[in-house]
Amino acid sequence: MDFKEKIAQLISNIVDMNKSDIKELIEVPQNCTMGDYALPCFKLAKELKKSPGLIAKDITEKIPDVEYFEKVGAVNGYVNFFVQKEFFISGILSDIINKKEEYGKSDLGKGKNIVIDYSSPNVAKPFHAGHLRSTVIGKALYNIFNFIGYNSIGINHLGDWGTQFGKLIMAYKNWGDKETVERDDVKELSRIYVKYHEESEKNPSLDDEARGWFVKMQNGDKEALDLWKWFIDISMKEYNRIYERLNIKFDYFTGESFYNDKMDAVVDELKEKNLLTKSEGAEIVELDNFNMPPCLIIRSDGGTLYPTRDISAAFYRKKEYDFDKCIYVTAFDQNLHFAQWFKVIELMGYDWSDRLIHVPFGLVNLPDGKMSTRSGRVVLMEDILNSAVNKAINVINEKNPELENKEQVAEQVGIGAIIFNDLYNSRIKNVVLDLDKMLNFDGETGPYVQYTYARTCSLLKKGNVDENGILGESEYITDEASYRVIKLLEEFPAKVIDAADKYEPYIVTRHIVDICQAFNKFYHDNNILGSEEKIKKARLSLTFAVNCVINSGLKILGIDAPERM
């Protein structure tokens, strides 16, 4: 039963207010003594011209007796609803056991496409820790929107075009050779790219030569394009290897170069609409009226820029996918870039410009400061994954050396720990790499959640509960620890929707931790397998429900759930 829906219906019969607006106001109190649900009446005060306290009192007095609420009370401007516990517990458990991993799914986004642009590393540079955030946040959002009925379309907008390739061609011609590049792949490309920046600081004329090579690429020069394609092939081998380990898939790899033949139409339209202005040889869209610097469309040497390609990509995606929203998961320091070209599309007269959403995030830092590709100060993603998996296998050898498939479980735990750590806090916060903290089985971590899931699997196996579940009688689930678990399970669907509304995967991550903590208290306080048969059955029902929801939560986050650890 959707208790918020029931409350909204009851109150809409009393107050002249839309049921959906009432439902939006309903809260779940932190303190359970204040009820299971609460309606704050402060927003109603202005409209009804009464104090919140009087409104709460009036509503409480007019609500009829219904079987699913034990009592309704008014306290400090809130209407507090206490659910009839047995009714509540029975409803939630039967819902989860019947739906299993479908529990919490909805059709909110039915028939709507969500394009999500994420990961998007710059080709010919190593896949380092700085790429992790866009990759895992984007994938989690992809899964969240799918979970609530949208059709998610994941695009890896590879940085496979631009002046950096002119620099890399220069670097290769001056300090590289084919044999070393083929042997050391992206690591060698990164080395010579760093070398280029070191040398260009001493000799700025190198930058002019690099720009010249990029212009050659734009003009179809065979040598330049052959080198460019080779750099891409070398890079993709590494990227695909890492994506496979992270269990990340994309629907499309359409990088910047894909839009090369689509930019002229955009530039022509900007000219037709008198939005382009000449400035020192470049062509720009003035944004002074919006407190932003101009958006550069064409460089003085005729080259295109990021905004040109991003605008072209947005038009292509709207035409190809007719998106409800197009989400861009990139670092916070790109806020201005997205604000500028979003505004350009608005100025072009397209009402879907407000459907372009930038989802920014903070940095991944080393313990002693910021990373930089140009200076070579990066931590490679593959090194991080290997370190995490090695630490996980050491923990498994210490705690459960007889475990079957140790290597596979270590891979799931080590990589899951990295992803979980990234998604545990609000995305805007910076993340500092700390493998010891990530792999702590006792903290609010991925391994803790995976271990709790494995505990539920073990209990269900020992209790002879198969994949179809078991529904015990709710009257035997009476203690506060059990009820706390049920309440958190009931909140799960709303938490997923909230995460989608706010583009914040951490809402799901934290809620799964809350469920695990509550379950482990329930496990500590109650004898599950050794209790009387009817009580045992009821407690195994609760365990099965927790198992289903933790598994769903981990899948949403893109993390594997090993059954044994």
Distance CA 232, CA 240 (A): 12
Q: Which of 4, 23, 131, 536 is catalytic?
A: 131
* C-beta of residue 427 within 8 angstroms of C-beta of residue 361: yes
**DSSP per residue, 413-438:** HHHHHHHHHHHSS-TTS-EE--HHHH
What one-letter code names the amino acid at 240? N
Q: Which of 419, 475, 407 is CA-nearest to residue 450?
A: 419
Whether 131 sits among the annotated catalytic residues: the reply is: yes
CA distance 131 to 248: 13
Q: Could you tell me if 435 and 388 are in contact, meaning their C-beta atoms sit under 8 angstroms apart?
A: yes
- 102: CB partners within 8 A, 6+ apart: none
Q: Is 125 a catalytic residue?
A: yes
With beta carbons less than 8 A apart as the criterion, state whether 332 and 428 touch.
yes
Residue tagged 């893109």 (tokens): 558
Close Cβ partners of 505 (under 8 Å, ≥ 6 residues apart) = 137, 140, 141, 144, 423, 427, 499, 556, 557
Q: Identify the CA nearest to 73 among candidates 48, 42, 37.
A: 37
Question: How far apart, in whole angstroms, are the C-alpha atoms of residue 452 and residue 459?
Answer: 11
**Alpha-carbon gap, residue 7 to 23, rounded angstroms:** 8
From residue 165, how far is each of 79, 262, 307 by CA, in Å?
A: 63, 20, 18
Catalytic pick from 4, 85, 128, 139? 128
The residue type found at 183 is R
Secondary structure class of 158 (helix, strand, coil): coil
Token pair listed for 243: 């994506």
- 23 classed as catalytic: no
330 in helix, strand or coil?
strand
**Looking at 125, 139, 157, 511, which residue is catalytic?**
125
Output helix, strand, coil percentages for the chain, rounded to the nearest 5: 60, 10, 30
Catalytic residues, which ones? 125, 128, 131
